[in-house]
Amino acid sequence: MEKYKVIVNPISGRGAGARSIDEIHEKLKESKISYDLVVTKQPWHAVELTKNAIREGYSVVVAVGGDGTANEVINGLMEAKQQKIGTAAMGMLTVGRGNDFAFSMNIPVGLDKSLNTLIKNKRRTIDIGHVKGGDYPQGRYFGNCIGIGFDAVVGFVAVKLKPLRGFSSYILGALMTNYIYFKPPRIKAIFDKESLDDRFLMISVMNGRRLGGGFMMAPDGIPDDGLFDVCVTPKVTKGKVLSLIPHFLKGDQYEYEPVRKIQTTTLKTTALEGSLPVHVDGETLCVEGQQLDIKIINKQIDLICENE
């Protein structure tokens, strides 16, 4: 019988993680799943808990939280693989704020629905991204996305909007960033088959499809095709930013200049003027970075999700 290690981030979703524990126990016991549950105590704790679970013979590690918790479990799984500790599949129970990784990987949002998905135990082997740079010169893995520029700053601002949560905080953050906080840097970006040198509003490197709780940066993204879908937006006027926001929400932004999609397996970005604010799966990679090296690693983690 498979053994599941359930890792709960208690502060995810403003306490929804902690409030979910009783229901998780009830549902998993009813389903006769062999499991143990543990609670994280500080940032990056889920990485070590994941690696320890693999050492102890658990075959599935379940992240209970949002995008940040999922990212930590992904890093634990990938580090365990690279360090030859062992491997495990990944599950996800969605109680976080944005839940973009879950959406992109076809894991339903909401504790009850995602528990049902976990119990059904259908799996898909997904690609994983890796980035070196900023505050992580040694590298960090990611499952959904990297945002460079405007969308990173929006995320930084949204986290500070305490009365709001989820998608509404990102929308207000986007408006505030557009008018107050952001000056597009000049970036040299080297892809597999071309290079660009320009001032960029943002460069969104997508393994999944969505970020920011509702922005469809890669509406046709496939998380096991061995390619990033990179949404590239050069500097535009503040008015143009406002006119583009509805199209990023709908996912039809590529019909409007100057937005374009570039598919690639690698991306190297260098700040020629200004600096690079960057998030990875919604978590801060750096506020003022200078260079990033990004690559995709094909078919790395078996993920429990809805396959249809």
Predicted TM-score (pTM) of the model is 0.94
Please compute the mean of the pLDDT values over residues 279-305 and round it to a whole number. 96
Rounded Cα distance between 151 and 116, Å, is 32
Radius of gyration of the chain from Cα atoms?
A: 19
Under a CB-based contact definition with an 8 Å cutoff, are residues 288 and 102 in contact?
Answer: no
**What percent of the chain lies above the pLDDT cut of 90?**
83
Q: What is the pLDDT of residues 120-174, one digit of tens each?
A: 999 999 999 999 999 999 999 999 999 999 888 877 776 666 665 566 676 776 7
Q: What is the number of other CB atoms lying within 10 angstroms of the CB of residue 274?
A: 15
What Å distances lie between residue 260 and 147, 218, 251, 254, CA to CA? 15, 11, 12, 5
Location of each CATH 3.40.50.10330 domain in the chain = 3-121
Determine whether 141 is exposed, middle or buried from the number of CB atoms within 10 Å of its CB (0-12, 13-18, 19+).
buried
Ranges 8-12, 27-31, 34-38, 242-246: which has the least confidence: 242-246
Question: Check: CATH 2.60.200.40 for 131-298?
Answer: yes
Compute the half-sphere exposure of residue 13: CA atoms within 13 Å on the CB side of its CA: 21
Contact indicator for 261, 230 with CB cutoff of 8 Å: yes
Which residues are CB-contacts of 246 (< 8 A; sequence separation ≥ 6)?
none
CATH class of segment(s) 3-121: alpha beta
pLDDT at 158: 66
DSSP per-residue letters across 103-171: HHTT--SSHHHHHHHHHHT-EEEEEEEEEEETTEEEEEEESSEEEEEHHHHHHHHHHT-TT--THHHHH
